[in-house]
């Protein structure tokens, strides 16, 4: 690798900026609050936001291809309630999880096929997908359903978590998040498929002229998005030990925000999967800060995320215009 | 019976007048849905007069549909310029919250405050789109994310109730026996139609939506027009937000206008305005909004809960998308399938 690759370029600027924001927020929290710097807060930051991170990696891939996926939150909720319901009916947890993942991938593939084959706007198709998944979640079970199974109660939350001290353990969800981010980063950076996605996102007509298989790549990217949304739903059941059809409303906005804050251009073609992890951690840190502060209400989180989104979108716009 | 004598000839006449116009399809869908209800939903068409005002399911559809109709008017113009504004639901919540907060001061202040803050929200979106040149869906995403937080801030996380008769009248009162909201929608429709069809503004909007670069080269003020369109959408959202808050006599920042932005976009698309911009159908959007509301009421009357009702709604969205798809249209017309490159050019939003 040449050294020139390591020098920060204009393209890396948003990622470096968000990394700076992350460090600033963390340092600020450590100065302002006792115990903020504790290992427990750090571990919870990963564990509690794992489902968002997993789903956000999928959303990032879709955005990289120049599309958008608004069905994320609904698919996460559907997966959770489906798994809870299947386990409640006596099915094996692994079977339920496998089925849910398959359905998520199939759902994404269906949306991708509609988008590609009929040249429909992704925004509208995934909007329809969001309504469909949300409604189906209520068909599966109309209210919150807790999961009561040794696989969840003991295996996932105890056996698979790594103890750090006597009272502190790294939950399985944190490892799931890191694994998905690493796999996603490798797929985007080093695989032919990842290159194809980026090429389509930069310019679909140029990609076609270069011989990139547009249809297969695009349908697969929505399949991946659906699969990772479902996986996010699975991780959410590990974390919540329940499924609720009314939960995770607006999660797609958080996922998109995480991708944008992490340096992914919303028009597609440029972005970094590790950046999305940074974005997710920033969203999580803001939430933690608001909780630590105590007197601030939780809606400040939304306003802060909106403000950050604004700053990063304008930053993107300015760097993009300078390149033109 | 009298309702039948009035409604079916009127629908038939409307269909006949529009037989060669784009309004035919949404009208036909609405007529079929109404016919289904006439045959299979008992009581759907019963109207009665109590205390000098009309009651019945049809009146409810008009009253409940008023919010989406108001939103759809603004959304039509935004979509016609080639943009989209999914933040109107959050704007509704902010407007309702401000009105409830100021309800105790005085009525004009409460109404003016609610509408003023909605205009500001629209101006914010317009600024991002026209001055910063950010893609509309991305620019409006910011307000969509933060808007409900702002509304919560205004209400301090509480649900604020109000009793002022004038504010309650806005969403629940009646004028000449019909819901006041209907008069509001008609007034806004006439105003909007005059604005875009009796001035050059409508042509400007269509030209910008069709090809912005060409429009700018012909000397059209593309950016100011785009800015205005978002401000107008904000204003419509503000009105809808005031009506929504008045409906329930309180400001509920979490639920006012939730998902209504999607209904509004759907209404516009069903009404015959293409999402890619250009030519728009103002009346079509109103019919689209009525169609969505009638569909919702129909499902509700058949004991399909509001939660599950999103499934048929999704089916309608996807069906309408497919019908608008240039690929499917070409296939249906038996033409040669257009090359993807041609579609991309036609359909790039």
CATH number, domain at A282? 1.10.3470
Q: Do A135 and B318 touch (CB under 8 A)?
A: no
For the beta carbon of residue A105, count every other beta carbon within 10 angstroms. Answer: 21
More confident residue, A235 or B37: A235
Instruction: Using the predicted structure, report yes or no on whether residue B141 has a pLDDT greater than 60.
Output: yes
Instruction: Using the predicted structure, report yes or no on whether residue B170 has a pLDDT greater than 50.
Output: yes
Environment class of A150 (CB within 10 Å of its CB; exposed 0-12, middle 13-18, buried 19+): exposed
For the beta carbon of residue B214, count every other beta carbon within 10 angstroms. Answer: 12
* Rounded Cα gap, residues B113 and B100, in angstroms: 10
pLDDT in the model for residue B335: 58
Residue in B142, B273, B338 to test binding to A, most A beta-carbons within 10 Å: B142
Cβ–Cβ < 8 Å for B241, B257? yes
Which of B282, B283, B286, B280 has the alpha carbon at shortest distance from B267?
B286
Structure-token pair, residue B23 = 């309004």
Instruction: Using the predicted structure, report yes or no on whether residue B46 has a pLDDT greater than 80.
Output: no
Instruction: Using the predicted structure, report yes or no on whether residue B175 has a pLDDT greater than 70.
Output: yes
Residue A302 lies in a domain: yes
Helix ranges (DSSP H) in chain B: 2-17, 24-40, 57-80, 88-102, 107-130, 136-155, 165-172, 180-197, 201-210, 212-217, 222-247, 260-270, 282-301, 310-324, 326-332, 340-347
Residues paired with residue A242 on neighbouring β-strands, in sequence order: A146
pLDDT in the model for residue B145: 78
Question: Which residues of chain A have a CB within 8 Å of the CB of B311?
Answer: 131-132, 135-136, 139
> Computed over its alpha carbons, how large is the radius of gyration of chain A?
20
pLDDT in the model for residue B349: 40
* Rounded Cα gap, residues B89 and B68, in angstroms: 10
Percent of chain B with pLDDT over 90: 21
Question: Which residues of chain A have a CB within 8 Å of the CB of B314?
Answer: 128-132, 135
Which of A314, A264, A263 has the alpha carbon at shortest distance from A20?
A263
* Rounded Cα gap, residues A53 and A281, in angstroms: 8
| CA of B270 vs chain A CAs: smallest distance (Å) | 12
Cβ–Cβ < 8 Å for B318, A115? no
Residue A41 lies in a domain: yes
Percent of chain B with pLDDT over 70: 95
Residue A3 lies in a domain: no
Instruction: Using the predicted structure, report yes or no on whether residue B176 has a pLDDT greater than 90.
Output: no
Cβ–Cβ < 8 Å for A141, A87? no
CA separation (Å) from A124 to A223, A312, B240, B276? 17, 25, 23, 12
Question: Which residues of chain B have a CB within 8 Å of the CB of A129?
Answer: 314
| CA of B317 vs chain A CAs: smallest distance (Å) | 6
User: In the structure, what pLDDT confidence band is assigned to residue B348 with cuts at 50, 70 and 90?
Assistant: very low
Angle between helices A251-261 and A72-88 (to 10 degrees): 130
CA separation (Å) from B30 to A151, B25, B182, B293, B298? 51, 9, 18, 10, 12
| CA of A197 vs chain B CAs: smallest distance (Å) | 17
Question: Which residues of chain A have a CB within 8 Å of the CB of B325?
Answer: 118-120
User: In the structure, what pLDDT confidence band is assigned to residue B341 with cuts at 50, 70 and 90?
Assistant: low
- Chain A / chain B CB contacts < 8 angstroms: 139
Residue in A306, A307, A321 to test binding to B, most B beta-carbons within 10 Å: A306
Question: Which residues of chain B have a CB within 8 Å of the CB of A205?
Answer: 341, 344
What tens-digit pLDDT sequence spans chain A (324 residues)?
444 444 556 667 778 888 998 999 999 989 888 888 888 888 889 988 999 999 999 999 999 999 999 899 999 999 999 999 999 888 888 999 999 999 999 999 999 999 999 888 888 888 889 889 998 999 998 888 888 887 777 777 777 777 777 778 888 889 999 999 999 999 988 999 999 999 999 888 899 998 889 999 999 999 999 999 999 999 999 888 888 888 888 788 889 989 988 988 888 888 889 999 999 999 999 988 888 887 777 778 888 888 888 888 888 777 766 655
* Rounded Cα gap, residues B188 and B237, in angstroms: 12
Q: Which of B156, B258, B262 is opposite residue A127, by nearest beta carbon? A: B262
pLDDT in the model for residue B243: 93
> Computed over its alpha carbons, how large is the radius of gyration of chain B?
20
Instruction: Using the predicted structure, report yes or no on whether residue B347 has a pLDDT greater than 50.
Output: no
* Rounded Cα gap, residues A18 and A35, in angstroms: 24
* Rounded Cα gap, residues A11 and B241, in angstroms: 41
Residue A2 lies in a domain: no
User: In the structure, what pLDDT confidence band is assigned to residue B6 with cuts at 50, 70 and 90?
Assistant: confident
3-state secondary structure of A70: coil
Q: How many domains does chain A have?
A: 1
pLDDT in the model for residue B319: 81
What average pLDDT does range B48-54 have in this prediction?
77
| CA of B276 vs chain A CAs: smallest distance (Å) | 9
Residues paired with residue B49 on neighbouring β-strands, in sequence order: B54
- CA-nearest residue to B154 within chain A is A299
Q: Do B145 and A297 touch (CB under 8 A)?
A: no
Q: Do A314 and B328 touch (CB under 8 A)?
A: no
Which domain range does residue A110 map to? 8-323
pLDDT in the model for residue A8: 54
Q: Do A299 and B347 touch (CB under 8 A)?
A: no
pLDDT in the model for residue A4: 47
pLDDT in the model for residue B79: 92
Q: Which of A128, A204, A321 is opposite residue B318, by nearest beta carbon? A: A128
Question: Which residues of chain B have a CB within 8 Å of the CB of A267?
Answer: 135
Q: Which of B141, B307, B327 is opposite residue A256, by nearest beta carbon? A: B141
What average pLDDT does range B126-144 have in this prediction?
86
Question: Which residues of chain A have a CB within 8 Å of the CB of B253?
Answer: 299
Cβ–Cβ < 8 Å for A100, A115? no
* Rounded Cα gap, residues A300 and B166, in angstroms: 32
3-state secondary structure of B323: helix
3-state secondary structure of A169: strand
* Rounded Cα gap, residues A101 and B9, in angstroms: 52
H or E segment to which residue A170 belongs: strand A169-170
- ipTM of this model? 0.76
Which of A233, A204, A208, A176 has the alpha carbon at shortest distance from A64?
A204
Question: Which residues of chain A have a CB within 8 Å of the CB of B326?
Answer: 119
Backbone angles phi, psi at B53, to 5 degrees: -135, 155
């Amino acid at each position: 690798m040449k050294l020139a690759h390591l020098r920060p370029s204009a393209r890396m600027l948003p990622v470096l900026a968000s990394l700076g924001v992350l460090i600033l927020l963390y340092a600020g929290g450590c100065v302002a609050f006792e115990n903020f710097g504790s290992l427990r807060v750090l571990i919870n930051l990963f564990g509690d936001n794992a489902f968002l991170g997993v789903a956000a990696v999928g959303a990032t891939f879709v955005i990289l291809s120049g599309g958008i996926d608004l069905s994320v939150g609904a698919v996460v909720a559907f997966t959770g309630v489906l798994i809870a319901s299947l386990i409640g009916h006596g099915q094996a947890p692994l079977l339920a999880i496998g089925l849910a993942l398959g359905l998520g991938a199939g759902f994404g593939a269906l949306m991708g096929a509609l988008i590609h084959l009929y040249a429909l706007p992704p925004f509208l198709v995934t909007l329809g997908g969001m309504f469909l998944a949300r409604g189906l979640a209520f068909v599966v079970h109309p209210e919150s359903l807790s999961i009561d199974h040794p696989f969840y109660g003991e295996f996932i939350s105890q056996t698979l978590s790594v103890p750090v001290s006597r009272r502190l353990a790294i939950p399985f969800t944190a490892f799931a998040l890191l694994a998905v981010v690493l796999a996603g980063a490798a797929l985007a950076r080093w695989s032919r498929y990842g290159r194809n996605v980026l090429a389509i996102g930069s310019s679909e007509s140029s990609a076609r002229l270069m011989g990139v298989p547009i249809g297969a790549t695009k349908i697969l990217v929505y399949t991946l998005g659906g699969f990772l949304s479902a996986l996010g739903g699975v991780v959410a059941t590990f974390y919540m030990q329940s499924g609720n059809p009314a939960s995770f409303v607006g999660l797609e906005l958080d996922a998109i925000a995480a991708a944008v804050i992490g340096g992914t251009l919303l028009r597609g073609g440029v972005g970094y999967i590790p950046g999305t992890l940074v974005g997710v951690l920033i969203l999580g840190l803001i939430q933690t800060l608001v909780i630590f502060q105590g007197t601030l209400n939780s809606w400040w989180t939304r306003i802060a995320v909106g403000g950050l989104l604004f700053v990063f979108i304008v930053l993107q716009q300015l760097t993009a215009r300078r390149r033109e | 019976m009298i309702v039948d004598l009035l409604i079916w000839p009127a629908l038939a006449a409307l269909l006949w007048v529009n037989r060669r116009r784009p309004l035919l399809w949404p009208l036909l869908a609405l007529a079929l849905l109404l016919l289904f209800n006439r045959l299979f939903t008992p009581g759907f068409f019963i109207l009665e007069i109590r205390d000098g005002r009309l009651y019945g399911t049809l009146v409810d559809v008009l009253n409940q549909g008023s919010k989406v109709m108001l939103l759809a008017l603004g959304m039509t113009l935004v979509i016609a310029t080639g943009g989209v504004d999914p933040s109107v639901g959050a704007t509704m919540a902010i407007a309702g919250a401000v009105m409830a907060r100021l309800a105790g001061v005085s009525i004009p202040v409460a109404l003016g405050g609610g509408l003023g803050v909605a205009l500001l929200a629209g101006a914010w979106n317009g600024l991002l789109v026209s001055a910063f040149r950010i893609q509309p869906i991305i620019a409006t995403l910011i307000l969509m994310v933060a808007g409900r937080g702002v509304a919560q801030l205004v209400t301090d996380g509480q649900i604020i109730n109000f009793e002022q008769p004038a504010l309650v009248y806005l969403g629940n009162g009646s004028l000449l026996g019909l819901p006041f909201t209907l008069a509001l929608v008609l007034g806004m429709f006439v105003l909007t139609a005059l604005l875009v069809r009796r001035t050059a503004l409508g042509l400007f909007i269509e030209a910008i939506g069709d090809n912005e670069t060409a429009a700018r080269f012909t000397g059209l003020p593309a950016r100011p027009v785009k800015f205005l369109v978002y401000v107008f959408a904000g204003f419509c959202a503000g009105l809808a937000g005031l009506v929504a808050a008045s409906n329930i006599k309180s400001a509920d920042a979490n639920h006012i206008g939730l998902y209504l932005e999607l209904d509004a976009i759907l209404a516009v698309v069903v009404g015959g305005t293409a999402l890619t911009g250009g030519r728009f159908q103002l009346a079509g959007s109103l019919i689209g909004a009525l169609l969505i509301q009638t569909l919702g009421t129909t499902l509700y009357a058949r004991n399909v809960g509001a939660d599950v009702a999103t499934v048929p709604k999704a089916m309608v969205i996807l069906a309408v998308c497919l019908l608008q798809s240039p690929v499917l249209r070409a296939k249906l017309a038996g033409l040669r399938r257009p090359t993807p490159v041609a579609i991309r050019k036609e359909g790039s939003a």
